[in-house]
Amino acid sequence: MIEIESRELADIPVLHAYPVGQKDTPLPCVIFYHGFTSSSLVYSYFAVALAQAGLRVIMPDAPDHGSRFSSDEARRLNQFWQILLQSMQEFTTLRAAIAEENWLLDDRLAVGGASMGAMTALGITARHPTVKCTASMMGSGYFTSLARSLFPPLIPETAAQQNEFNNIIAPLAEWEATNHLEQLGDRPLLLWHGLDDDVVPADESLRLQQALSEMGRDKLLTCSWQPGVRHRITPEALDAAVTFFRQHL
């Protein structure tokens, strides 16, 4: 059995799940990030499944999502990459708050996510060596190139607009896989993707697999590709994530 609560952690609304009676017991912990236009509540089945596996789970609402949503849908649709960046930046504060609560067992902290959340998890892993393992479900680590086709912040038609686009995307470069393949390859990493994904192409995960393989950094890499699946989490994907974290965290 498990328990689950809504609360704030470091002034960020989160879902907090854990095995029953172990709220204040140090446990291995997963911070799991949801997808774009969704919320921690919608993705709470990950929290349930991982807590049932004996883990503590923290699921933050991304900026302008869930209880942080401004109710301006049109504005949010143009803020995908800014929201991603802020989510990655908030990791340091969340990690410190978790440690302050004495919730971590032996510093065993992992990250995972789906879609935008998977991008968040990959970016965090690239920059934070304390992360023990990472699960990326239908994500990408190649932000600056994907931003030209997936929820671009604007469509540049003038030189000034191109400069604005570049200024929005530039900060993402220091978080992306291109510059951190060694860091992404030195810990257990799960890449799961539906091969018919119609939002974040499966080629994004395949590209990362190939890059790690070419560098000889794929010894700790687990890949799971599901034919015929578009942009959604399947029962098999959930099982793969739970199995991965139970094994490596």
pLDDT band, very low/low/confident/very high, at 226 (cuts 50, 70, 90) = very high
Range with the lowest mean pLDDT among 71-80, 124-133, 194-203, 234-243? 71-80
The answer to whether the beta carbons of residues 192 and 134 sit under 8 Å apart is no
Alpha-carbon span 47 to 15, nearest angstrom: 8
Alpha-carbon span 72 to 13, nearest angstrom: 19
Output the pLDDT for position 189.
99
- pLDDT of 231 > 90? The answer is yes
Residue type at position 156: P
Q: What CATH architecture applies to the domain 2-248?
A: 3-Layer(aba) Sandwich (3.40)
Residues 6 or more apart in contact with residue 77 via CB below 8 angstroms: 37, 151
Query: 22: closest CA among 5, 41, 43, 38?
Result: 5
pLDDT band, very low/low/confident/very high, at 10 (cuts 50, 70, 90) = very high
A 10 A CB-CB count for 135 gives: 33
Query: 221: closest CA among 231, 229, 211?
Result: 211
The answer to whether the beta carbons of residues 3 and 83 sit under 8 Å apart is no
**pLDDT digits 0-9 by tens, 56-86:** 999 999 999 989 999 888 899 889 999 999 9
Annotated domain spans of the chain: 2-248
pLDDT band, very low/low/confident/very high, at 152 (cuts 50, 70, 90) = confident
SS3 label, residue 156:
coil
Q: Name the packing angle between helices 80-89 and 91-100 (round to 10°).
A: 30
The sheet with strand 134-137 has its strands ordered as 2-9, 12-19, 56-60, 27-33, 104-114, 134-137, 189-194, 221-226
First to last CA, the chain: 20
Alpha-carbon span 239 to 184, nearest angstrom: 22
